[in-house]
Amino acid sequence: MVFKEKFQSETATEIEAFTGLPRKPHQPITKEEVKKSFDNLNNNRAPGEDGIRAELLKYGTQEINEQIAKILNQTFERHENLDINAGELIAIPKPGKPKGPCKN
């Protein structure tokens, strides 16, 4: 209940999925753009559903950047669904605190 009150809006509107025809982006995503986005990731975070840690992406080879750019560009060209914002939120109580809903 606390999570819903803090992070979900009753007035939020659902955005409809794009239904246009697939096409190449005007400018393809480059390996340099991918590298720049990876450099902004925080270290020592839990991996996502894919199990890939940020450090692997940040400090990996140029091949990783090239392949991710290729995958992203193909995804946009083919109009495929890209589920990249999925995540899991797990509340971890502080040691010594009573279990149950947050009081603050």
Given a contact cutoff of 8 angstroms between Cβ atoms, the answer to whether 87 and 48 are in contact is yes
Looking at the structure of the chain, the number of domains it has is 1
Amino acid 59: pLDDT: 95
Mean pLDDT by 10 residues, the chain (104 residues): 66 74 84 96 88 93 95 88 74 80 68
Structural domain harbouring 48 = 23-83
Q: Is 102 contained in some domain?
A: no
Residue 94 in any domain: the answer is no
User: In 4-84, where do the E strands start and end?
Assistant: none
In a domain, 76, yes or no: yes
Q: What pLDDT, on the 0 to 100 scale, is given for residue 104?
A: 61
Cα–Cα dist 33/40, whole Å:
11
